[in-house]
Structure 1
């Protein structure tokens, strides 16, 4: 399998990004939603070319999950690949896509991690702080933490913790006998809410509808981008 080469990150840049993440982390608030959401959005980013990023927001009515709106924005990749700091690479373009939504969501489900991150600042937390909107992350792979594999049936849950035993997220079996999802709060959301909304948005697929549809439309918009 081809894997693109990424040169080692500059140590000074890593220090500066770490400081920025620590500043953002101080602004994170983990709390239940004030009211039940009327609208939930899913968002995702992809890279049609090494030099281009495409970000998508799909807005759904909750709890029916009827699609209300879908928007995208494509632009140049303006930040290098630095492991653990991908938010800085993706967030600026996600913000530009978000601005195109006519109806703003009450909560955003992000394809990625919330606080289940080595410095507790995954893309869901990062984006939530920048927008000051409730966010949580639903990721397909673990980034950090330890857990026991949940039971193979849909709805089974195991805690994802750090080495000290502090809760980072929950590992959720979203469909029988498929690999689990890693769900964690981002900002202005708590774990209970993140887990409950994830489960409420399942419609027979591994991924909950907001991020599943964001991923689907990212592929559709990628083709539209190519045609232009």
Structure 2
């Protein structure tokens, strides 16, 4: 595990997977879903499958012992034919549809084989961190209008993360400052765990801006705030860590209910989640056809989110600080080798 800048322990999921797969005895196989369950969340099954296809493979790698749901072949980086050959050489009698049920090691048996207890599951541990962070979120009106607002976003090229911070004037939206950092990504993309992937590069670029006295009064984040399955999206997590007002801005809604209706330019519609008004869908007052979703991050309320963001649209779907942070981070990522 490595220590991220926010002071929390981030598990090395790739190393954990390699260790677990190596413990599967020859002649037995497991599934992406079973491994995800051991990690602590079935939502991680998609990442496990992606990792199997893309991981750095070695001659002694036992990745052929992981199959799709129901025992179907095809997730190994080796390819289906090589996977079939290796399993047969280990004594697995394959059926036309894949691996027979008796060869499968399901999650409970695999947990027993590896000696994994409930408290050992890394994603469950991260959820506990999120639950504790959620208790620290403050939803309150801004004490005064900001003089500036910044956007922060992260783009990727392979294992590298590019974080960009862009500060603009408020309410004018004129670009005042931008900076970036590049560092290795420490955690994969798994739905609802984005903070553990992006918090480290975001904090690094904010520290760089702070050293140059460029921290804005409000930070807009490309990601969810309280509109998150556990109420602690990246915008809220970051806000608590830096103790500064933050706003979550996304193009899609991670969770919550919004009334289906056509918005006029500059119009909003409330987004409810678990009985609370935590955000809005907002259409640019310049009339862009596609709206965005705002959610409370930290030390701000819904009305404050609207007041800060609404003047910052130009000709783009995203408000200016997020638009420029997104554009520059992508440009830098494309240049990386």
What is the TM-score when the length of structure 1 is the normalising length?
A: 0.90
Q: Pick from 154, 168, 189: which aligns with 1:81?
A: 189
After TM superposition, the structure 1 = structure 2 runs for residues 44-63 of structure 1, keeping only pairs within 5 Å, are 44-49=153-158, 51-63=159-171
- Residue pair 1:153, 1:177 contacting (<8 A) in 2 also: no
What is aligned with 1:69? 177
Once residues 336 and 318 of structure 2 are traced to their aligned partners in structure 1, the CA distance between those partners, rounded to angstroms, is 25
After TM superposition, the structure 1 = structure 2 runs for residues 1-228 of structure 1, keeping only pairs within 5 Å, are 8=36, 10-11=39-40, 12-49=121-158, 51-101=159-209, 102=212, 103-162=214-273, 164-174=274-284, 176=287, 178-226=289-337
Change (3 A) 1:177 1:64: closer
Cα deviation digits, residues 64-84 of structure 1 (max 9, x gap): 222221111111111133221
Cα deviation digits, residues 127-180 of structure 1 (max 9, x gap): 101111110111000100111124242122111112x43212111122546222
Q: CA RMSD in A?
A: 1.9
Once residues 155 and 130 of structure 1 are traced to their aligned partners in structure 2, the CA distance between those partners, rounded to angstroms, is 31
Q: How far apart are 1:59 and its partner, in Å? A: 1.0
- Residue pair 1:31, 1:189 contacting (<8 A) in 2 also: yes
Structure 1: segments with no counterpart, 5+ residues: none
Structure 1 or 2, whichever has the larger Rg, is: 2
What is aligned with 2:46? none
Once residues 319 and 243 of structure 2 are traced to their aligned partners in structure 1, the CA distance between those partners, rounded to angstroms, is 23
- Residue pair 1:154, 1:173 contacting (<8 A) in 2 also: yes
Once residues 58 and 224 of structure 1 are traced to their aligned partners in structure 2, the CA distance between those partners, rounded to angstroms, is 19
Please state whether the residue corresponding to 2:36 is helix, strand or coil: coil
Change (3 A) 1:152 1:159: closer
- Residue pair 1:148, 1:159 contacting (<8 A) in 2 also: yes
Cα deviation digits, residues 168-207 of structure 1 (max 9, x gap): 2111122546222110110011110101111111113211
Once residues 122 and 144 of structure 2 are traced to their aligned partners in structure 1, the CA distance between those partners, rounded to angstroms, is 40
Highest RCO, 1 vs 2 (Cα 8 Å, sep ≥ 6):
1
Which of structure 1's runs of 4+ aligned residues deviate more than 6 A? none
Q: How many residues align?
A: 220
Once residues 198 and 64 of structure 1 are traced to their aligned partners in structure 2, the CA distance between those partners, rounded to angstroms, is 11
Answer with 149-158 or 57-66: which moved more.
149-158
Once residues 31 and 71 of structure 1 are traced to their aligned partners in structure 2, the CA distance between those partners, rounded to angstroms, is 29
Which structure: greater helix fraction? Answer: 2
Please state whether the residue corresponding to 2:257 is helix, strand or coil: coil
